[in-house]
Amino acid sequence: MTARIDISAVTRRYGATLALAGVDLTVEAGAYCVLLGPSGCGKSTLLNILGGFADPTSGAVRIGGRDMVGVPAAARPTTTVFQDYALFPHMTLLDNVGFGLRMRGMARRARQSRAAEMLALVGLDGAGARRPADLSGGQRQRVALARALAVEPDVLLLDEPLGALDLNLRRVMQDELKRIQRSVGATFVHVTHDQEEAMAIADRLVVMNAGRIEDQGPPERVYRAPASRFAAGFLGEMSFLPARVQAGRAVTALGVLGGPQTHPEGTRMIACIRPEHLRIGPGPALGPIDVLDTVFMGAHRKVRLRARAAPDVDLTALLPADTAPGPDLAIDAGAVTLLPDNGDTT
Amino acid sequence: MIRFALCSAYMALIYAFIFLPVAVLALFSFQDGRFPIPPFRGFSLRWHAEVLADADLIAALVNSLLVAVASSALALALGFLAARAVATGALRGAGMVRAAITAPLSVSYLVIGLGLLASLNLMGIGLSLGTVAIGHVVINTPLCFAICSAALGPATANAERAARDLGAGEIRVMALVTAPMIMPALLAAFLLSVTFSWDEFIIAFLLSRFDVTLPVEIWSLLRSGLNPKTNAVGSLVFMLSALAVLAVELAAARRK
Amino acid sequence: MIRAASIETRDRRRALALAAPALAWTAAFFALPFAVMATASLWRRTDTGFDRRPSLENYADFWSQSAYVEAAVNSVEITLAVTCLSVLLAYPLAWIIAVELPERYRRIALALAVIPFWTSYVVRSYAWSLVLAKKGVLNGWLAAWGLGALDLANSRAATVIGFTHFFTMLLVLTIYASLVQLPRNLRLAAADLGASRFQTFRFVVLPLTLPGVAVGAFLTFALCIGDYVTPQILGGGNDLALPQLVMLQISRRADLPMAAALSVILMVLVTLAYLAMARWMRPR
């Protein structure tokens, strides 16, 4: 019904390029895990390795404790929802959804009724006699999901499942996915480059870049206290302000930010400031500022500004529409994340 | 207006050129006389009757059908499998494989036929309808390969992957997913192969001995010079092909 | 860490297994015969069989005997004439069908243009010999209009006419295919920018359809120069074409080595034509 995934020290090389550079990841049974990253970050390669479509160059992959390396897709307790759905155009929806059961030798009558149940689960009851060409993109997505779930996989792999849908439909489907995952209980691993989608669905969010995992954990934690500069910048807007450790505190041009630091005196650090960290309230004030740009966004006003005290860094503030940016804007110092500055600028 | 007149005139001229030999052939197959040349002496079906009573011609027609269907089926199987191999992207040196399989397309049938003749002689294999079929598989495999390759794409590759993911073995992937998905291309490749084989002369001429195909039998009829019987064979073949094309068109129309 | 049979290795093996039958067939019945031909072209026919010591004497014979060279020249001349004539006849028709004709008539016009394909290849040449015979249809019409008779039977002209008929049909198809691919808006845009009909054709349509035409023309060249049937039926025994000469070596003289050498020369001519036309066949 569901299974835990253990990936340890997995690398994958394509010729001279390293698609995965030592990935360790554990996903608890029944969790909804989202792999998030820009294209080429290795998330699809990792999914292919889980699904049995590619081999790791080295490392171990276990699903439910069983070693998966070299096991073909058909023999794994996984099924995949493919990016373009890969529905069989010449079969009815019932035959599409029942295909995996047919391969397992289930009698026609039984698999048709099971397929009909699965179609009902994804909200397509009664559509079994139709063909994929008659469906909209969102409906095809649902059929692909039903087909992959019909064989009761322990782990469901979803490769950019919502990528082809328009924005509204994507938001509807992400809620649906979560609901379905809860009701079937299988472990879901979902690949996407859409951070909003990722944060909305994930129990466990994994941010990847350049073949490595940058950060992983509950989405809220990753958003609020990212473990790397990449993870910080990829999940929503972020400004980076240089800092230096003095007397156990991170000191920036705009004052002391973040909590106590254990790094040695003089260590260079980076303060990660989100737009919502700038507001009128307690904390170090920005002092005189220059407003670069203002965008009206309905309830909010997005203001790009520069503090005279830190003229090299553009800050973004998300202010209530009736609040004018001024020198009384202050940083919510406790919410700011501080990362060691290891020189990378991504 | 002038443009319309020019276009019409040109079309009329070219179509006249295109139809002329076929029309003359058909008309004089009904010639009531010994020569298929003007003047037309009256309408007679005796030459058609003579063709249908000619056991050699009928045998040749059956041979042609056999060779065409058998060689096309084999060529389609070889071409389809190879096209899949190349389309998976898993094949090393796919470009070389493609080049090797399509190479016979660029070589004249005469050269292919002669080469086969020489090799079969060296190997001590006697000529028969089977050797003709071998030759026709050589010329039709690249054709079937090319048509199947054009039909296979990311859509079929992904559907195959999905089928495999759901537990289908290789044979079921092909039979339940790939072949049905590209059925129109498979049919087109088969029919085109049948046409090519049915009409092919030089390889059949070089590689057959006692049992011959229809074009070879017609060739030997030509030795008797201009003869309404040859016209009758030609028109009958024409009608047969026309009926086949019509049947295919109707079948295609009904599927829609 | 060594893995016994990884997934991708299995995928590769499976692909290889799928390609193997076609590769084996092509190797056994195409590549091997081809090699046999090339080798045999270096043998010599003797009174008792073949002298299998390799030599270039067959090729030397080809150069030294005018009959051989003439046949090659004949073939090239006939083929070039046929290729040019067919393209010139087919292009306007393809144009009319693809551009001038209302869309609903296109399919039927195209189907009509290839109707003679349905007769047997051998019979088509025979049909032309009926038309062009001394007392045939053509001369009958000429006489009816009070014109003198033409003696086209068994001549090079008859061969060219028979070939042109066949390849015009073929080229209408290929040229039509490249014309319909051309978006109508391209022509409209050219006209909008002030190009005349001729300028539109010369600077927009022609360059874009040239690859299609070139591929068709090369196909015509290759098929035409290698064909035995049409020159044999329509050209008769006078002005021999290269394939007729090849068949003569086989049927009359049992000279396989010479036939093989002539075949190699045929292939060389086709390759030269390909090299000459390759640069127009690529879409730019």
Residue A52 to residue A70: CA distance in whole angstroms: 8
* Binary contact (C7, A58; C-beta < 8 A): no
Decide: helix, strand or coil at residue B196. helix
Is residue C13 one of the residues assigned to a domain?
Answer: no
Which residues in chain C touch residue A54, judged by CB atoms under 8 angstroms apart?
A: 7-8
Contact B165 A80 (CB under 8 A): yes
**Closest residue of chain C to A69, computed from CA coordinates:** C6
Q: How many other CB atoms are found less than 10 A from the CB of residue C17?
A: 12
Residue to mutate among C2, C3, C6, C7, with most A CBs inside 10 A, is C7
Alpha-carbon gap: C4 to the closest alpha carbon of chain A (Å): 8
A84 touches chain B (CB under 8 A): yes
On whether any CB of chain C is under 8 Å from the CB of A55, the answer is yes
Q: Which CATH number fits domain A5-230: 3.40.50.1220, 3.40.50.300, 3.40.630.10, 3.40.640.10?
A: 3.40.50.300
Beta carbons of A232 and A344 less than 8 angstroms apart = no
Asked if residue C4 belongs to a domain, the reply is no
Shortest Cα–Cα distance, C3 to chain A (Å) = 7
How far is residue A162's CA from residue A36's CA, in Å, rounded to a whole number?
13
Q: Which residue of B has its CA nearest to A86?
A: B159
d(CA C19, CA B99): 12
CB contact under 8 A, B84 and C18: yes
pLDDT tens-place string over residues A161-182: 998 888 888 999 999 999 999 9
- Please state, in angstroms and rounded to a whole number, the distance separating the CA atoms of residues A292 and A273: 18
Evaluate if residue A2 carries a pLDDT over 60. Answer: yes
> What pLDDT was estimated at residue B35?
79
CA-closest candidate to residue A54, choices A35, A36, A80, A32: A80
User: Taking the alpha carbons of C113, C114, C115, C119 in that order, is the dihedral positive or negative?
Assistant: positive
| Nearest residue to A36 via CA among A138, A186, A189 | A189
CB distance B182 to A106 below 8 Å: no
Chains that touch C (3 or more CB pairs under 8 A): A, B
Tell me which chain B residues have a C-beta less than 8 angstroms from the C-beta of C132.
Answer: none
- Return the pLDDT at C216: 92
Tell me the Cα Rg of chain B.
Answer: 23
How many CA atoms, within 13 angstroms, populate the side-chain half-sphere of residue A306? 9
Q: Is the pLDDT of residue A344 over 70?
A: no
For residue A186, CA distances in Å to A7, B140, B229, C124 come to 18, 50, 76, 69
pLDDT of residue B255: 65
Closest-CA distance of chain B to residue A50, Å: 12
Q: Do residues B162 and B101 make contact, with C-beta atoms less than 8 angstroms apart?
A: no
Structure tokens at B149: 């390759």
Of C8, C14, C23, the CB nearest to B101: C23
The tally of CA atoms less than 13 A away on the side-chain side of residue A226 is 25
Q: Which among A284, A290, A292, A295 has a CA at the least distance from the CA of A326?
A: A290
- Position C284 scores a pLDDT of 62
**Which residues on adjacent β-strands are paired with residue A269?**
A243, A340
CA angle C79, C85, C88 (to 5 degrees): 140
**What local confidence, expressed as pLDDT, does residue A164 receive?**
83
How far is C-alpha C254 from the geometric centre of its chain's CA atoms? Answer: 27
Nearest to A89 among B154, B161, B181 (CB): B181
CB contacts, 8 Å: B77 with chain C: 21
* Chain C contact for A69 (CB, 8 A cutoff): yes
Nearest CA in chain B to A72: B165
Report the b/e string of B133-150 with b at 16+ CB within 10 A. bbbbbbbbbbbbbbbbbe
Average pLDDT over residues A22-51: 95
Residue ranges of domains in chain A: 5-230, 241-340
Q: Name the residue in chain B with its Cα closest to that of A79.
A: B165
A32-36 vs A187-192, strand pairing mode: parallel
Q: What's the pLDDT at A127?
A: 92
- Which chain C residues are closer than 8 Å to A72 by Cβ? 7, 10
Q: What is the pLDDT of residues B136-188, one digit of tens each?
A: 999 999 999 999 999 998 899 999 999 999 999 999 999 999 999 999 899 98
C-alpha C88/C-alpha C217 separation (Å) is 11
Please give the ipTM for the structure prediction.
0.90
Q: How far apart are CA B63 and CA B76, in angstroms?
A: 19
Q: pLDDT tens, C194-238?
A: 888 888 888 888 888 998 899 999 999 999 999 999 999 999 877
- % of chain C at pLDDT higher than 70: 98
Inter-chain touch B19–C256, beta carbons under 8 Å = no
Residues 151-180 of chain A whose Cβ lies under 8 A from any Cβ of chain B: 151
Tokens of C35: 């090699």
Distance CA A214, CA C246 (A): 73
Task: Using an 8 Å CB-CB cutoff, list chain C residues near B160.
Answer: none
Of A316, A270, A250, which Cα lies nearest the Cα of A289?
A316
Pick C282 or B8 by higher pLDDT: B8
List the CATH number of the domain containing C218.
Answer: 1.10.3720.10
Phi-psi domain of A269 (left: phi exceeds 0; alpha: psi -120 through 50; beta: other): beta
State mean pLDDT over B22-38: 85
CA distance A145 to B94: 34
The domain in which residue C167 lies consists of 65-281
Q: Residue range A304-332: average pLDDT?
A: 87
- With an 8 Å Cβ cutoff, are C3 and A70 in contact? yes
Residue A197's nearest CA partner among A163, A225, A164, A222 is A163
Chains with at least 3 CB pairs less than 8 angstroms from chain A: B, C
Mark yes or no for CB contact A87/B159 under 8 Å: yes
User: Which of A231 and C49 is assigned the larger pLDDT?
Assistant: A231
Average pLDDT of every residue of chain B: 91
| B48 Cβ neighbours under 8 A, 6+ residues apart | B29, B30, B232, B235, B236
- Please judge whether A69 and C5 are an interchain contact, meaning their C-beta atoms are less than 8 angstroms apart: no
Tell me whether residue B180 is exposed, middle or buried, using C-beta atoms within 10 angstroms of its C-beta: 0 to 12, 13 to 18, 19 or more.
middle
Whether C112 is covered by a domain: the verdict is yes
Domains in chain B (CATH in brackets) are 56-255 (1.10.3720.10)
Q: Split chain C (284 residues) into runs of 10 and give each run's mean pLDDT.
A: 68 93 96 93 86 89 91 95 96 92 87 82 91 84 79 88 94 92 87 86 89 92 94 87 93 89 94 89 73
- Given a cut of 70, is residue A346 above it in pLDDT? no
Q: Which of A55, A58, A80 to mutate to test the interface with C (most CBs of C within 10 A)?
A: A55
Tokens of B202: 């030089």
Closest CA to B157 of B78, B52, B87, B109: B87
List the subunits that have 3+ CB pairs under 8 angstroms with B: A, C
A149 in reach of chain B (CB within 8 A):
no
* Residue showing tokens 């809620």: A175
Q: For residue C239, what pLDDT is reported?
A: 82
Q: Which of A12, A67, A69 to mutate to test the interface with C (most CBs of C within 10 A)?
A: A69
Closest CA to B228 of B1, B32, B9: B32
Q: Is residue A214 classed as helix, strand or coil in its secondary structure?
A: strand
A window 101-120, beta carbon within 8 A of B: 103-104
CB pairs under 8 A between B and C: 237
Question: How many whole angstroms separate alpha carbon A131 and alpha carbon C30?
Answer: 44
Tokens (6 digits) for B121:
């002689």
Residues 152-191 of A with CB under 8 A from C: none
pLDDT value at A261 more than 90 = no
- Beta-carbon separation of A70 and C1 below 8 A: no
Point out which residues pair with A289 in neighbouring strands. A307
How far apart CA C206 and CA C198 sit, in angstroms, is 10
Does A262 score more than 50 pLDDT? yes
My answer on whether omega of the bond before A218 falls inside 30° of 0, hence cis, is no
Contacts of residue A148 in chain B, CB cutoff 8 Å? 165-166
Please tell me which residue of chain B has the smallest CA distance to C122.
B215
Q: How crowded is the C-beta side of C8, counted as CA atoms within 13 Å?
A: 14
Question: Taking CB atoms and an 8 Å limit, are C8 and A54 in contact across chains?
Answer: yes
Q: Which two tokens stand for residue A21?
A: 């550079």
Query: Using a CB-CB distance cutoff of 8 angstroms, which residues of chain A are in contact with residue C5?
Result: 70
State whether residue C68 is helix, strand or coil: helix
- Report the residue of chain A nearest C5, measured CA to CA: A70
Report how many Cβ contacts below 8 Å link chain A to chain C.
Answer: 21
Per the structure, how many domains does chain C have? 1
Residue of B102, B129, B132 lying closest to B116 (CA atoms): B132
* Contact between A228 and A214 (Cβ < 8 Å): yes
Does the beta carbon of A147 lie under 8 angstroms from any beta carbon of chain B?
yes
Please check whether residue B158 is in contact with residue B24, taking contact to mean a CB–CB distance below 8 angstroms: no
Alpha-helix residue ranges (DSSP H) falling in A151-271: 167-184, 195-201, 219-224, 229-234
A80 with B162: Cβ contact below 8 A: yes
In a domain, C202, yes or no: yes
User: B158 CA to chain A: closest CA distance, Å?
Assistant: 5
Using a 10 angstrom Cβ sphere, with 0-12 exposed, 13-18 middle and 19 or more buried, the burial of residue B187 is middle
Distances A108 to A112, A129, B20, B181, B184 between C-alpha atoms, Å? 6, 15, 59, 22, 27
- Choose from C14, C26, C176 for mutation: most chain B CBs within 10 A: C26
Average pLDDT over residues B58-83: 97
Instruction: Determine the distance from the C-alpha atom of residue C150 to the mean position of all C-alpha atoms in its chain, rounded to a whole number.
Output: 28
In C, what residues contact A, Cβ < 8 A? 1, 3-10
The chain A residue lying nearest C8, using CA atoms, is: A54
- Asked if A72 lies within 8 A of C10 by C-beta distance, the reply is yes
Reduced to 3 states (helix: H, G, I; strand: E, B; else coil), residue A11 is strand
